[in-house]
Amino acid sequence: MARSPRARRAQRAGARARLAGVVSLVGVVGLAMTAAGLGTAPPARADTAPHPSAVRAAATTGAATPASRQLAALRPTAIGVDGRGTSYVGFAAGGALARYSADGERRRPLPLDRDGAVVGLHATRRGSVWVAYADGVSLLRPGGHVARRLDTGTCPDGTARDPDRYGGVTATWWATYVADPCAPRLLVFGPDGDRIAVVHLPGSRPARGLAATAGEGGHGPRLYVTLPDRAALLAYGLRRDRPGRHPVDRVVLRRPAGGVRPVPAGVTVDRFGQVVVADAANNALYFLDSHHGYSLYRTLGHPPRRSHRAGRLSHPTALAQHAQDGSGLSGNLFIADGDNYRIQRWDTGGYTHWAHRVHAPRSTGGGGSGGNGGGNGNGGGTGGGGGSGGGEPANFDLPVVVGTPEVGQLLSCSHGGWSPAPTSYEYGWLRDGVLQDAGEDGVYDVPAADAGHSIACRVRATNADGTSGWVHSDSVDVSAAGSS
């Protein structure tokens, strides 16, 4: 029997009501699961883009949509922290670095000198930043001036294929180390910007995290490298700034209970030889003791499930650590929490100081005048065309006293980092701030009179354009002979 128009309208209304009830029930159940820790994604909002796991799956299968590509470009891919605790955050979208104070307050963005995704960052104590791209590395001073450019020309089309998985940079007073984002190799550059070594890595895939240590605590100098596709951490010995052909240590990370094969991302090492590795696949930080066979002694992040709660992680892409200097920031970890689109500051015991969403800033105009090897910076900054950038040397990383501060020992003064490259250095040694020795060769024989006092060194640099002012190292306390 044919239904009347009124009956059909009533039937449709009833169906809509039943459907609305089902949708409401699904929403309530989903919210309850998330609150109980059973759901791994935050509740959806009407203005929210697709969940990052769907974006990553689409990218893996080649089915990425314009919306998913746009979302991926906003994910933080790199992080660095300077001596004041200012964090610098890079993105696949490029353009500029976001900056945040030690307390997590947003600061003015730092414009970049090149287009393209940021694959790695390393901040110096004084706020200069090494920025790694697909085709090179730039050193930016705090005001945005380009102090140096290192052209690697590594990726065939100048594009990093997976900027939150491959590529990285770290720097010391003596060298800059770059993980090629498109090939399994490390590039090493000297203080004058010349490439001094190439190290071919095991396997066919690129590396990610890099961290260097001068060798405190019994080890010689080390360069740590993570291999995402091998679940491995490599340690290379450094001799005259260059890594050896083969690693001296290799650690294969174990999957956590209920987890999957680890994907090591960022890595840090402190002056005590403690190594921290971020696992992007299991949403964790692993603490390894390099003096005891890289034994795992702590895990943070509550792996393996991803979570948007503070103190937990969702695909951590990069990691930086403040120096162990006894300050309130000592040893603090700064984490690029990729799929949560935020950064977090933790201490090594697991306390969360803050967690803040980050936004990829728009470039406010390109970098300033270029340094070594550069063409033009975006927005009108001119490069040096391979020269030194001009002007007297300027310091971007402080000198350091090297050696055992004990009566009868010899100390040396690392001259720190300078750009443009100097042709010569002058040194001096100070006891409690008073000049004691000109120390032309940067070496100091500690006399008995220094016991119980503080010693520091000072350096100034000269090139064809002039001589810099004096810059001073941090001081060290001198002990009596045989007391250490």
pLDDT grade, residue 481 (50/70/90)? Answer: confident
Residue whose tokens read 């650590």: 321
Q: What mean pLDDT do residues 284-289 have?
A: 97
Average pLDDT, the chain: 81
What three-state secondary structure class fits 66? helix
Residue whose tokens read 């991926």: 72
372-392 confidence digits (pLDDT tens): 433 333 333 333 333 334 678
Q: Please check whether residue 132 is in contact with residue 139, taking contact to mean a CB–CB distance below 8 angstroms.
A: no
Q: Please check whether residue 356 is in contact with residue 100, taking contact to mean a CB–CB distance below 8 angstroms.
A: yes
Who has greater pLDDT, 61 or 116?
116
123-174 confidence digits (pLDDT tens): 999 999 999 998 899 999 998 899 999 988 768 766 777 999 999 999 998 8
Q: In this model, does residue 370 exceed pLDDT 80?
A: no
Distance, in Å, from the CA atom of 44 to the CA atom of 42, rounded to the nearest integer, reads 6
Q: What mean pLDDT do residues 423-447 have?
A: 84
Q: Please check whether residue 129 is in contact with residue 80, taking contact to mean a CB–CB distance below 8 angstroms.
A: yes
The amino acid at residue 431 is R
Q: Long-range contact list for 245-250, CB < 8 A, 24+ apart?
A: 245/199, 248/222, 249/290, 249/294
What three-state secondary structure class fits 34? helix
Q: In this model, does residue 406 exceed pLDDT 70?
A: yes
Highest-confidence segment of 265-279, 404-418, 444-458: 265-279
What three-state secondary structure class fits 280? coil
Strand partners, 139: 130, 148
DSSP-assigned letters across all residues of 415-438: --EEESPPSEEEEEEEETTEEEE-
Highest-confidence segment of 42-56, 339-353, 362-376, 463-477: 339-353
What domains can you pick out in the chain, each with its CATH number?
71-357 (2.120.10.30), 394-478 (2.60.40.10)
Who has greater pLDDT, 102 or 12?
102
Q: What is the pLDDT of residue 201?
A: 97
Q: Residue 52 belongs to what H/E stretch?
A: helix 52-61
Q: Please check whether residue 144 is in contact with residue 101, taking contact to mean a CB–CB distance below 8 angstroms.
A: no
Q: What mean pLDDT do residues 308-328 have?
A: 94
CA distances 478 to 15, 271, 436, Å, are 84, 19, 14
**Comparing C-alpha atoms, which of 252, 313, 332 is closest to residue 288?**
252
Q: What is the pLDDT of residue 68?
A: 53
